[in-house]
Amino acid sequence: MDILYLLIPLSVVLAIVIGAAFWLAVDGGQFDDLDKPALDVVVDDDRPRP
């Protein structure tokens, strides 16, 4: 069961990494509107880049 000494600390690090990822996602406004952004992917934006 020595593998536990690697896996348990690893799980702690992973949890912290996932937590940081969610933190950034919330700050980036990813959870502000859960409906409209889905359309931005589906619909082409044919406008020329300014």
Partner 1 sequence: MTLELASGAAAAAGCFHCGLPVAAGTSFTFDAGGGRRVFCCLGCQAISTSIAGLGLDDYYRVRSAPAPRAPKADEHFDAFDDPVVQERFVSQAPGALEAELILEGLACAACAWLVEQVVARSAGVKSISVNYSTRRARLAWDPATTRLGEVLRAIHALGYSAWPYEEGRLALVEQREGRCLLRRLWVAGLGMMQVMMYAVPGYLAGEGEIAGDAASLMRWAGLVLTAPVMAYSAAPFFRGAWRDLRLSHLGMDVPIALGLLAAFAASVHATVAGAGDVYFDSIAMFVFLITGGRYLELVARRRAGSSLQRLARLVPQMARRVRASDGHEESVAVARLYVGDRVLVRPGETVPADGRLESASASVSQAWLSGESRALARAPGDAVLGGSVNAGDAFVLVVTRLGADTALASIHRLLERALAERPRWADAAQRASAMFVAGILAVAALAGLAWLAIEPSRALWIAVAVLIVTCPCALALATPVALTAGVGALARANVVAASAEAIERLAGATDIVFDKTGTLTHGQPRLLETLPLGLPTRDDCFALASRIARASAHPIDTVFRDASTPIAPASTDMGELPRSVAGQGIETMIEGRRYRLGREGFVAQLCASPLPSSLEEVADTVTWLGDEGGWLARFRIGDELRAEARAAISDLRALGLAVHLLSGDEAGAVNRVAASLGIVDASARATPEDKRSRVADMQRAGARVAMVGDGINDAPVLAQADVSIAMGGGADLAQVHAHAVLLSNSPADLVRAVRIARRTRRVIRQNLFWALAYNIVVIPLAVAGLVTPLIAGIGMSASSLAVVANAARLRR
- Residues lying near partner 1 in the complex (CB under 8 A): 1, 4-5, 8-9, 11-12, 15-16, 18-19, 22-23, 26-27, 29, 31-36, 38-40, 42-47
Q: How far is the CB of 28 from partner 1 (least distance, A)?
A: 10
On the CB side of 48, CA atoms within 13 Å amount to 1
Separation in Å, CA 23 to CA 17, 26, 32, 44, 45: 10, 5, 13, 30, 29
Taking the complex as a whole, the smallest distance from the CB of residue 20 to partner 1 amounts, in Å, to 10
Q: Kindly state the smallest distance separating residue 16's Cβ from partner 1, in Å.
A: 8
